[in-house]
Amino acid sequence: MPSVDDPTVAPLVPETAAVDRPHAAGFGPPSLIGLDRTELADALAGIGEPEAKRKMRANQLFHWIYHRGARDFDAMTSIAKELRGRLAETYTLARPGIVDAQRSMDGTRKWLMRFPDGNEVESVYIPETDRGALCVSSQVGCTLTCAFCHTGTQRLVRNLTAAEIVSQMLVARDDLGEWPTPVGDRWISNIVMMGMGEPLFNYDNVVKALRIIMDDQGIALSKRRITLSTSGVVPEIERVGRDLAVNLAISLHAVTDEVRDVLVPINRKYPIAQLLQACRDYPASNNARRITFEYVMLKGVNDSAADARALVRLIAGIPAKVNLIPFNPWPGAPYACSTGRAIDRFAKIVNDAGYSSPVRVPRGRDIMAACGQLKSASERKRRNRDTAAAPA
Ligand code: SAH
Ligand code: SF4
């Protein structure tokens, strides 16, 4: 089991000063991808656009970038040719590099993206019959070390910028050919902040990115179609409900502090009672928009009938549903998945108590794209190298 040094790790310090400015000097011409309206106006100021016109031009750029998916300034036909020329001299519309794109036998897709500082994250697209969800990362790695999560074993960690978070959506839409923003059905109908990292440890960038994604002049995804999953950063939960009003998912995974302290170490700082109180107080939940409690099924650890009954008692009074996640194994993982019988028994108890309790069908396991399996390729290589070098 990975050691847990300090479960209360502070939101982190970026590894390099440049990471908060993906378009900073040294990384080639700056890209406008991922910028919000204010930053686009600043970019226009940088090329001498008069102040009186900046706001209107920024709105046009916003439309071309996020509604039309423009990859070339020349495509922006509503913008004067002369200004397009000036934009192209100074800026690009470059996306992060795709290092690897994989497709699972079940249709799940995974992109490994690399940013100019060499850091990498993964995003996953999970198609369903009439819709699909994009699983977006909020950090490179994760400072938390949940014992069953592959991402938590990654050593390199930094916050993603808002631009890097938005870029994941743009790259996926490029690949799926989903431009302009469709009026009706969409391939990417939902976003789940369930990739690498703890989104509430990167609060400002996540909020900024999701506001860009929700903006009705661009990608225009409704807050009802966005779910943010947290391991339980209690002080930020109410705030995110007020700021974004997106759906909330809580990685509960255990019904006693004793077990949760080990599985989800942030529990030592914010124990179950506090976490559930924050859920009761969540401003954006009601019977129509329930809070999802995620519960990973670990053989012999948290999967007994008594655990299921305790879970039902704990969430009483919260508009909730329970998502049971069969544990997805990864090389060297210290746990095994519960048996099908144990999962069915657990699901039945929760369901009989009046809570929807679907068992999540693992998707993309063959390409290591399932929940908790994400880890950058460079980290995997490093880990393999270390394992090979370690004394027997
Ligand atoms: N850091 C956030 C969001 C990313 S993890 C969080 O922890 O909520 C998304 C979900 O996958 C979480 O519920 C997480 O606990 C779960 N998960 C992590 N590793 C897993 C694994 N190996 N098998 C199944 N689910 C896992
Ligand atoms: Fe981080 Fe979430 Fe993995 Fe825990 S489960 S280590 S919080 S990504």
Q: Which residue from 144, 187, 143, 148 is spatially nearest to 169, judged by alpha carbons?
A: 187
Query: In angstroms, rounded to a whole number, what is the distance separating the alpha carbons of residues 146 and 261?
Result: 9
**Ligand 1 near 137 CB (within 6 A):** no
Give the position, in ligand 2's atom list, of the atom nearest the Cα of 264. Answer: 4
Beta bridge partners of 191: 134, 226
Residue 78: the pLDDT is 95
Report, as residue numbers or ranges, the catalytic residues: 122, 371
* Cα 152 to middle of ligand 2, angstroms: 6
**Ligand 2 near 294 CB (within 6 A):** no
**Ligand 1 near 328 CB (within 6 A):** yes
For the chain, percent helix, then strand, then coil, each to nearest 5?
A: 40, 15, 45
E strands of the chain, at which residues?
Answer: 97-103, 109-114, 120-127, 132-135, 139-140, 158-159, 190-193, 226-230, 247-251, 291-297, 320-326
The one-letter code for the residue type at 226 is: I
* Cβ proximity of 139 and 159 under 8 Å: yes
Residue 9: the pLDDT is 39
H or E element: which one contains 210? helix 203-214
* Cα 204 to middle of ligand 2, angstroms: 19
**pTM beyond 0.85:** yes
* Cα 373 to middle of ligand 2, angstroms: 10
* Cβ proximity of 159 and 19 under 8 Å: yes
pLDDT per residue of the chain (392 residues) written in tens, 0 to 9: 333 334 333 333 333 333 333 443 345 789 999 999 999 999 999 999 999 999 999 999 999 999 999 999 999 999 999 999 999 999 999 999 999 999 999 999 999 999 988 899 999 999 998 899 999 999 999 999 999 998 888 877 899 999 999 999 999 999 999 999 999 899 999 999 999 999 999 999 999 999 999 999 999 999 999 999 999 999 999 999 999 999 999 999 999 999 999 999 999 999 999 999 999 999 988 887 999 999 999 999 999 999 999 999 999 999 999 999 999 988 889 999 999 999 999 999 999 999 999 999 888 888 888 776 777 666 766 555 554 444 43
Backbone angles phi, psi at 379, to 5 degrees: -70, -40
The one-letter code for the residue type at 95 is: R
For residue 194, the tally of other CB atoms under 10 A from its CB is 24
What residue owns the CA closest to ligand 1's atom 9?
194
* Cβ proximity of 152 and 169 under 8 Å: no
**Ligand 2 near 152 CB (within 6 A):** yes
* Cα 29 to middle of ligand 2, angstroms: 34
Spatial CB neighbours of 217, under 8 Å, sequence gap ≥ 6:
59, 62, 63, 66, 67
Give the position, in ligand 1's atom list, of the atom nearest the Cα of 329. Answer: 22
**Ligand 1 near 122 CB (within 6 A):** no
* Cβ proximity of 303 and 346 under 8 Å: yes
* Cα 299 to middle of ligand 1, angstroms: 16
Nearest ligand to the C-alpha atom of residue 198: 1
Residue 5: the pLDDT is 36
**Ligand 1 near 230 CB (within 6 A):** yes
Residue 130: the pLDDT is 83
Q: Is 19 helix (H, G, I), strand (E, B) or coil?
A: helix
Query: In angstroms, rounded to a whole number, what is the distance separating the alpha carbons of residues 291 and 294?
Result: 10
What residue owns the CA closest to ligand 1's atom 12?
251
Residue 369: the pLDDT is 80
What residue owns the CA closest to ligand 1's atom 17?
372
**Ligand 2 near 142 CB (within 6 A):** yes
What residue owns the CA closest to ligand 2's atom 4?
146
Domains annotated for the chain, with CATH where assigned, are 31-94 (1.10.150.530), 95-387 (3.20.20.70)
Spatial CB neighbours of 65, under 8 Å, sequence gap ≥ 6:
32, 33, 93, 218
Residue 95: the pLDDT is 94
Beta bridge partners of 140: 158
Query: In angstroms, rounded to a whole number, what is the distance separating the alpha carbons of residues 153 and 5?
Result: 12
Residue-wise over 262-279: b if at least 16 C-beta within 10 A, else e? bbbbbbebbbbeebbebb
What residue owns the CA closest to ligand 1's atom 8?
230
Query: In angstroms, rounded to a whole number, what is the distance separating the alpha carbons of residues 1 and 3?
Result: 6
* Cα 54 to middle of ligand 2, angstroms: 41
